[in-house]
Structure 1
Amino acid sequence: MADEEYIGGKHSVLEALKSGRTINKIWIAENAQKHLAQPIAAEAKSHGIVVQFVDKRKLDQMTDNMQHQGVVAQVAAYRYAEVDEILERAAAKGEAPFLLLLDEIEDPHNLGSILRTAECTGVHGVIIPKRRSVGLTATVSKTSAGAVEYVPVARVTNLAQTIEDLKKKGVWIAGTDVAAKQQVYDTDFKIPIAVVIGNEAKGVGRLIKESCDFLVKLPMFGQLNSLNASVAAGVLMYEVVRQRHRS
């Protein structure tokens, strides 16, 4: 990845500021609404970051017409976490590990949505493969509404090998598959768990599926037999929350 990149959108830029990420400069459109520009300008000033008001067309050129809402920041590239860091994060909180493994998610909007829900549900970290998978891009950041600043993402060379390593560390691997016999709601998610979400079109790959400890499915009552990847991930994450935080 490059050493620097651009992110756009009010939430993405504000969360990058609040999280302490290295920001070199912020540009705000001259005609930006006051309620959008003021909080960002004030937060940037408190961090000593230069803010420049420019014509909106300059922002369009800088971001290749990304939906930036009139605010763009030049930031240091995202730092990917190590898998062990994610497990240490769970241990520091005194919680059983709760991870997501994304098997070749290609749509940045799906990844962004998954990260947003992951942040809300207390997922300790997300693991993605380096190949045939979208990484942490500006579009992912914007779709995640800034959640990308708070959810550690590890990028691994071999997802199947990572699964085996997690198993050795006591983490159970649950794959998602429409043909699974076991329903999500009949599954114990209070154990140390990593849930595998598959590719938008193909689902979880055969090799990864065979590496899982067990497979689960969401019940389907309509004519279609699958959900959007980010929606399925969201339902699964909240079932883990329901079980772990049941009063």
Structure 2
Amino acid sequence: MAGNSQRRGATRKSTKKASTPGTGGKNRRSLEGKGPTPKAEDRTYHPAHERKQAAERRAASSGPRGGKDARARDRAGSSGTALEMVAGRNSVLEALRSEIPVQTVYVSSRLESDDRTKEILDIAMGRGYDLREASKLDLDRLTDGAVHQGVALHVPPYEYKDVDDLLDLAADSGRPPLIIALDGVTDPRNVGAVLRSAGAFGAHGVLVPERRAAGVTASVWKVSAGAAARVPVARATNLVRALEELKKAGCFVVGLDAGGDVTIDEMAFATDPVVLVAGSEGKGLSRLVRATCDVVASIPIGGETESLNAATATGISLYEVARLRRQAASA
């Protein structure tokens, strides 16, 4: 019956929503947002975060497996100065024997043992050097692909001597000074070969210009077969000025160049203090350096050969000087 409120479903319910207590601005604040979404690697619950943490742990490691950043730090010292890698068994052993400053000794994880490697390990452990095992791939990267034979040294930059240091060394030896000067030689292999010849024939040191010339680098260490640890190298801001100083100290300056005034085996003053000057690979002696020389000597060679490179010419000349000095001593 109409109007019978007792009948089920007869009462109409209101659709108007009743008022509710206020939120105190909670909903308004939620609409403001939480800022930009963090990167995946910055969200602690995300897998990318764990990968980032693992990479940072590897970078913090100072070993050869410490990743790209660690290897970059191995190339630079605490002062930011580039460091050098000495690679190869002979070079590393000679460097250790000469007690040059050593940052780290790296050895291959599969190092084939011989007398040299045993001595390298004995010296490294005996002196308490930082000795680290590295894979072949690690050593290839650390040495920039050089032939390392499973061993390498991380050494600070080479400490050059002064011209006076070379003269002092000659005075201490009791022999007339014998010094090699390189005029603009830019090939590190030539510098290394010159150092090797200098060590073989008793030279007291090598003089190189500071600019536009090769210095003592890892390549020089390798080619010199360790002679870089025994033969001091001086660096001159001005080579001509340094040669003038050597002349004032009583040295004869002999330039090595084709078409010289005399041949190297005819040098009358080989037994006196001598400075042998070798020119660059392409241009030979520069004009000012040639003018500074007391005499220019050449090496007799066959007519079909135009010239010899700096390392070969220096080696032959050093042999001749050593021969003439032995001959004079036995006379």
- The TM-score normalised by the length of structure 2 is 0.72
CA–CA separation in structure 2 for the residues paired with 1:39 and 1:94: 32
Q: 1:15 aligns with which of 94, 101, 112?
A: 94
Structure 1 counterpart of 2:216: 136
AA at the equivalent of 2:94: E
Q: Could you tell me whether the CA contact under 8 Å between 1:116 and 1:144 is conserved in 2?
A: yes
Greater displacement, 99-108 / 224-233? 224-233
- Specify the SS of the correspondent of 1:23: coil
Shift of 1:157: 0.7
Q: Flag as ranges the 4+ runs of structure 1 deviating above 2 A.
A: 1-5, 36-39
Unaligned runs of 5+ in 2: 1-79
CA–CA separation in structure 1 for the residues paired with 2:147 and 2:81: 21
State the percentage of identical aligned residues: 38
Structure 2 counterpart of 1:225: 306
AA at the equivalent of 2:285: V
Greater displacement, 153-162 / 47-56? 47-56
CA–CA separation in structure 1 for the residues paired with 2:136 and 2:163: 40
AA at the equivalent of 1:202: K
Q: Could you tell me whether the CA contact under 8 Å between 1:21 and 1:76 is conserved in 2?
A: no
Greater displacement, 137-146 / 31-40? 31-40
Q: 2:246 aligns with which of 162, 166, 178?
A: 166
Structure 1 counterpart of 2:318: 237
CA–CA separation in structure 2 for the residues paired with 1:62 and 1:3: 13
CA–CA separation in structure 2 for the residues paired with 1:214 and 1:37: 46
AA at the equivalent of 1:200: E
Structure 2 counterpart of 1:193: 274
AA at the equivalent of 2:319: Y
Unaligned runs of 5+ in 1: none
Shift of 1:166: 1.1
Q: Could you tell me whether the CA contact under 8 Å between 2:197 and 2:315 is conserved in 1?
A: yes
Answer yes or no: is 1:56 the counterpart of 2:56.
no
Answer yes or no: is 1:72 the counterpart of 2:152.
yes
- How many residue pairs end up in the alignment? 247
Q: 2:110 aligns with which of 12, 18, 31?
A: 31
Greater displacement, 2-11 / 90-99? 2-11
Shift of 1:185: 1.0
Structure 1 counterpart of 2:15: none
Shift of 1:3: 5.9
Q: 1:104 aligns with which of 184, 187, 190?
A: 184
Q: 1:209 aligns with which of 290, 300, 305?
A: 290
Higher relative contact order (CA 8 A, sep 6+): 1
- Specify the SS of the correspondent of 1:225: coil
Q: Which is strand-richer, 1 or 2? A: 1
AA at the equivalent of 2:306: N
Q: Could you tell me whether the CA contact under 8 Å between 1:9 and 1:69 is conserved in 2?
A: yes
Q: 1:176 aligns with which of 242, 256, 267?
A: 256
After superposition, the C-alpha distances for 1:203-225 in whole angstroms (9 at most, x for unaligned) are 11111001101111001223122
